[in-house]
Structure 1
Amino acid sequence: MPLELISFPLCPYVQRSVITLLHKQVGFTLTHIDLAHKPEWFLALSPLGKVPCLKIDEHTVLFDSQVINEYLDETIAPVLHPADPLERAQHRAWIAFGSEILGDQMQMMVAQGEERFTAASRQLFDKLERLDKAMGNGAFFAGDDFSLIDAALAPLFMRMEILHALRPLPRWESLGKLRRLTALLMELPEVAGSVTADFPDRLRNYISERGSLFLRTA
């Protein structure tokens, strides 16, 4: 049976695994669920009750995007992690840092009060500036080749560009290395094809439905 990735359309962690699957040109099906009304069959599969889940076969399921991507990288070419153990550990560390930034980004997007919005924005851009400084001089984050770091960061950067289009974000605009990397990643078929064509509208509606200060002060 083909791999089945269980998803929520706006989830950046699902998108990380979609990008990895598309980059490796692996056949898979995508099953969307409503996270507000999680079906019983999904809760039986996922101990965390979160997406993504990758169904390998009728009896085997993986959960957590990084675990899924590591499994895919260890079993399907091309390999996207470095061979050296220390470099591989460093890549994992930056992926974990990217997950922290996604949390700050979400908090900024949905914050309804000024204090929470300001705090989340500051944390988000402070971390993005650190990420910008850490990026090497190659085309991608860690060199001249696409890696699992890029698969993990692409959803974050895609959302930053959408948010920047909704309201100017000067601190994002000032991050030269990350903006160049973002432009490169957005042109890749595996990144462009990892979301639906109406994704920007879906994201805007998601923010609007929560009465976010982000749109009210745009």
Structure 2
Amino acid sequence: MSQPIVLVSHLLCPYVQRAAIVLLEKGVPFERRNIDLANKPDWFLAISPLGKVPILQVGKTAIFESAVICEYLDETLPPPLHPPHPLQRAQHRGWMELGSAILADIASFYSAKDEATLEQKALQLQHKFAQINAVLGEGPYFAGKQFTLVDAVFAPIFRYLDAFDAIADFGLLAQSPAVQAWRQALAQRPSVQRAVVIEYPQLLNAFLSSRNSALSLHMQEHTPRFS
């Protein structure tokens, strides 16, 4: 790709991580431009109709929505991260949507205001992870030995689990040993490691502790629950 590429980012956004992982897998040079989502600059609002990150700027053209960005990058840059068969591609897109649903559940989990809601959200997450556990093969990645866009979607999800596990055992992968193995494999992937800044774990912990939620209380008490 001859035109300069800029990824407009936020340091904690998991959807930004998806795009960054794909760019890193493609080996294409790009610039990251981080913004404060609490104080969005006018230039950003002019190119982001939804007011969200990521935004991919390719030359003078801006593309928004992480799924669209990842699909565009996969269509225009080697190596392909989608399977070649249309039916398999459609299946993968469906699992990518499940990844987005899990991110929504994770947000509900860390924002839960009381212990009962926190446990309910944990059970919802446990169920979704069990669903994907049922379709995973020998690994190490979602589709076996080949890294795909599904892997790029789930790697940021597992970063949240790293933070949750450091707080308490919520049993989110209690029924999903294959997902646990997949999680560990993705953590070793260079593109996944480089998709965030070194300070990411500390920044995420600070964000979680500021939520005034049941999880925040767990962080203060640091006592395991749901085990």
TM-score above 0.5: yes
Deviation at 1:168, TM superposition (A): 1.6
Equivalent position SS for 2:28: coil
Equivalences for residues 174-189 of structure 1 within 5 A? 174-189=175-190
2: distance between equivalents of 1:118 and 1:181? 24
Partner of residue 41 from structure 2, selected from 39, 42, 64 = 39
Q: Look up the match of 1:154.
A: 155
Q: Look up the match of 2:7.
A: 5
**For the Cα contact (< 8 Å) 2:129–2:172, is it kept in 1?**
no
Unpaired runs of 5+ residues, structure 1, are: none
2: distance between equivalents of 1:112 and 1:89? 37
With 5-14 and 120-129 compared, the bigger mean Cα shift is at 120-129
Q: Look up the match of 1:199.
A: 200
With 132-141 and 29-38 compared, the bigger mean Cα shift is at 132-141
2: distance between equivalents of 1:122 and 1:174? 11
Q: Look up the match of 1:89.
A: 90
Equivalent position SS for 1:48: coil
Equivalences for residues 1-218 of structure 1 within 5 A? 1-58=3-60, 60-217=61-218, 218=222
2: distance between equivalents of 1:200 and 1:176? 24
* Aligned-residue RMSD, C-alpha: 1.3
Give the number of aligned pairs.
217
Equivalent position SS for 1:170: coil
The structure in which a higher percent of residues are helix is: 1
2: distance between equivalents of 1:160 and 1:56? 33
1: distance between equivalents of 2:85 and 2:134? 23
**What TM-score results when the alignment is normalised by the length of structure 2?**
0.91
Equivalent position SS for 2:38: helix
Q: Look up the match of 2:225.
A: none
Deviation at 1:175, TM superposition (A): 2.0
Any idea what the Cα deviations from partners look like across 1:12-40, whole Å, max 9, x if unmatched?
00000000001111100111111111111
**For the Cα contact (< 8 Å) 1:166–1:215, is it kept in 2?**
no
Equivalent position SS for 2:169: coil
**For the Cα contact (< 8 Å) 2:17–2:156, is it kept in 1?**
yes
1: distance between equivalents of 2:99 and 2:22? 16
**For the Cα contact (< 8 Å) 2:122–2:172, is it kept in 1?**
no
**For the Cα contact (< 8 Å) 1:173–1:179, is it kept in 2?**
no
Deviation at 1:173, TM superposition (A): 4.5
1: distance between equivalents of 2:84 and 2:114? 46
Output the amino acid matched with 2:208.
I
Deviation at 1:167, TM superposition (A): 1.4
1: distance between equivalents of 2:169 and 2:143? 28
| Aligned residues with identical type, % of pairs | 41
Deviation at 1:128, TM superposition (A): 1.1
**What TM-score results when the alignment is normalised by the length of structure 1?**
0.95
1: distance between equivalents of 2:172 and 2:211? 24
